[in-house]
Amino acid sequence: MIINKNGLLLVLFLIFFSNFLSAQKDFKNGNGFYKKERQSLQASIHKNFYDKASGYYVVVVDPAKREKKNGYLREYTYIWSLCALYQAANEIEKLEPKAKLMAPLLKIMYDYFKPAPPKPGFSDYIMKLKPGERYYDDNEWIGITALDAYSRTKQKSDLELGKLIYDFIMSGYDQTLGGGIYWKEGSASSKNTCSNGPGVLVALQLYQATKNKAYLDTAIKIFNWTKEKLQAPSTLYYDNIRTKDGSISKPVLSYNTGTMLQANIYLYEITGDKKYLQEANVMADSSLSFFYAHDKFRDGFWFNAVLLRAYQHLLKYNSDKKYILGFKKCLDDALKNNKNEDGLFVGKEGVQSLVEHGGMLEILARYAWIENKYNLSEPNSSLSTVSKK
């Protein structure tokens, strides 16, 4: 068969257009799109952030942008980034139980572990390389993930890690300003939503795992304090309260709202009190309009991942698809406009840090689960389950 030049161009155009339509269909309707994106990002993170020679991850790709602290170069990542990867690994294992990603990460994280009084906990940096400080929120993210994993695997070591984290964070609780947990050990300048909201979650997860009422009592006590001191009129949450004068630092970030939104959902599950579910629905509406109305993420990927945890949890009790679809528009925008040729995400200052990539990895793993269970393309207001044989 002979095809002239114009005919060949037509054939090539039809092939390209067919592939384009197929890709668009995957993008809009699921069909494993987010799973493929997650797999691609996972490989890019390993290639660009993992230092095989040392066995550690680097905090940023560009060596010139790595931080010096107290005269020492922080070549490797802070534990916060590993917290992000650890939660992402848990979400991936929910989809692929044989992946076994969490254990290697936890092994690395124990190089940051500081068994010092008043209670053992994780430092922000590798102990043998001039360690820094112990942050209560860093430890809480680890505890949340370990207890998430325990609910899935019933592995005793995850429960024990959750208990260890609880003991450490409660060493940061006192009655200054009537209660609450400080942001970091050795600093009494502020009590933050980011150290109290996730502290509530650790306590609630421990109650669910053990049915020890002391954990529930603690959770409610810290929850009520945080709500009283740091909730904005919008029902979202401010950043922190200063202990010196009780003044409020008022940035509103998605992760702070996310932990307190999810705390309401857990409290509804545990107590059956509908006021918590009502509050969760109100907060979800407020957060949707504040964070996702313009189809672009207004703060970092990892912060948004924490709020997505609450949205996904809320699906058990509120099937309205608007929260997941509103978030999805921002996710799709980032996938379309913020990736470079290496499959990494860039911002105004170039390639973003490991913690942001860990946050995006968690987001993609969660959407891989969502697209497998729900039909995201339906235009009606209720999220329907995809039929699975």
Residue 162 has pLDDT above 80, yes or no: yes
Report yes or no on 177 lying in a domain. yes
Give the CATH number of the domain where residue 217 resides.
1.50.10.20
* Domain presence at residue 27: no
H-assigned helices in the chain: 5-29, 33-49, 79-95, 102-109, 136-153, 156-170, 193-210, 213-230, 254-271, 274-291, 301-314, 322-337, 354-373
The yes-or-no verdict on residue 383 having pLDDT over 60 is: no
- Residue 13 predicted with pLDDT over 90: no
Residue 159 lies in a domain: yes
What token pair was written down for 167? 């003991």
Number of domains in the chain: 1
pLDDT tops 80 at residue 387:
no
- Give the pLDDT confidence of 31-60 residue by residue, as tens digits: 799 999 999 999 999 999 999 999 999 999
State which amino acid sits at residue 188.
Answer: A
Residue 23 in any domain: the answer is: no
Tell me the mean pLDDT in the region 274-294. 98
Domain-embedded: residue 382: no
In a domain? residue 218 = yes
Residue at 25 is within a domain: no
Q: What is the pLDDT of residues 195-216, one digit of tens each?
A: 999 999 999 999 999 999 999 9
Looking at per-residue pLDDT, the higher value among 140 and 71 belongs to 140
pTM of the complete model beyond 0.75: yes
Locus of tokens 């070591």: 157
- Residue 197 structural domain: 42-373
Question: Do the domain assignments include residue 225?
Answer: yes
Report residue 75's pLDDT band, with 50, 70 and 90 as the boundaries: confident
Mean of per-residue pLDDT scores for the chain: 90
Q: In the structure, what pLDDT confidence band is assigned to residue 254 with cuts at 50, 70 and 90?
A: very high
109's tokens: 């994280």
